Chains A and B, each alone.
Chain A
Amino acid sequence: MAMEKFIKHTGTAIPLRRSNVDTDQIIPAVYLKRVTRSGFEDGLFAAWRNDPDFVLNQPQYKSGTILVAGPEFGTGSSREHAVWALQNYGFKVVISSRFADIFRGNSLKGGLLTVILPQEAVEAIWTTIENDPATSITVDLETRTVSYGSTTIAFDLDDYTRWRLMEGLDDIGLTLKHTDAIDSFEAKRPAYKPKTLPIRI
Chain B
Amino acid sequence: MGKTLAEKIWEDHVVRSADGEPDLLYIDLQLVHEVTSAQAFDGLRLAGRKVRRPDLTIATEDHNTPTLDILKPIADPVSKLQIDTLRNNAKEFGIRIHSLGDADQGVVHVVGPQLGITQPGMTIVCGDSHTSTHGAFGAIAFGIGTSEVEHVLATQTLPSSRPKTMAINVEGSLKPGVTAKDIILAIIAQIGTGGGQGYIIEYRGSAIRELSMEGRMTVCNMSIEAGARAGLIAPDQKTFDYIKGKPHAPEDFEAAQKYWETLFTDSDAKFDVEITLDGNTLEPFVTWGTNPGQGLPLNASVPNPAEIKDSEERGAAERALEYMGLTAGTPLKNIAIDTVFLGSCTNGRIEDLRAAAAVIEGKKIAPKVRMLVVPGSERVRQQAMKEGLDKVFLDFGAEWRNAGCSMCLGMNPDQLAVGERSASTSNRNFEGRQGKGGRTHLVSPLVAAATAIRGTLSSPADL
Contacts and interface: CB of A to CB of B under 8 A. Distances in A.
A171 interface: yes
Interface string A113-144: 00000000000000000000000000000000
A16 B224 CA distance: 24
B155 A172 contact: yes
Interface stretch (A30-38, A61-69, A147-155): A30-38
B100 to A, nearest CB: 16
B374 to A, nearest CB: 16
Interface stretch (A6-14, A19-27, A86-94): A19-27
B409 A106 contact: no
Interface string B129-157: 10100000000000111111011001111
Contacts of B119: 193-194
Nearest to A71: B312
Interface stretch (B166-174, B192-200, B211-219, B336-344): B192-200
B431 A47 contact: yes
Interface string B35-47: 1101100110011
Contact of B411 (A30, A109, A191): A30
A107 to B, nearest CB: 9
B47 A75 contact: no
Interface in A65-120: 70-72, 75-81, 83, 98, 100-102, 105-106, 109-110
Identify the interface centre among A20, A22, A47, A106: most chain B CB within 10 Å of its CB.
A20
A1 to B, nearest CB: 5
B194 A72 contact: yes
Q: Is the interface of A mostly helix, strand, loop or mixed?
A: loop
Nearest to B153: A172
Contacts of B367: none
B430 A109 contact: no
A76 B428 contact: yes
Contact of A109 (B96, B145, B156, B436): B145
10 pairs of A and B residues whose beta carbons are closest in the complex: A106-B145, A80-B145, A35-B38, A78-B143, A192-B256, A33-B78, A192-B250, A29-B411, A80-B146, A197-B55
28 contacts: A1-B147, A18-B319, A19-B312, A24-B430, A25-B431, A28-B436, A72-B193, A75-B193, A75-B227, A80-B36, A80-B145, A83-B145, A100-B194, A101-B197, A106-B147, A172-B154, A175-B155, A175-B157, A175-B159, A176-B154, A182-B52, A190-B255, A192-B250, A192-B259, A195-B56, A196-B57, A196-B96, A200-B247
Interface of A: 1, 18-20, 22, 24-25, 28-30, 32-37, 47, 70-72, 75-81, 83, 98, 100-102, 105-106, 109-110, 158-160, 171-172, 174-176, 178-179, 181-182, 185-186, 189-197, 199-201
Given A24-B432, A36-B39, 11 more contacts: A33-B411, A35-B82, A37-B39, A80-B147, A100-B227, A105-B144, A171-B159, A175-B159, A191-B252, A194-B117, A201-B247
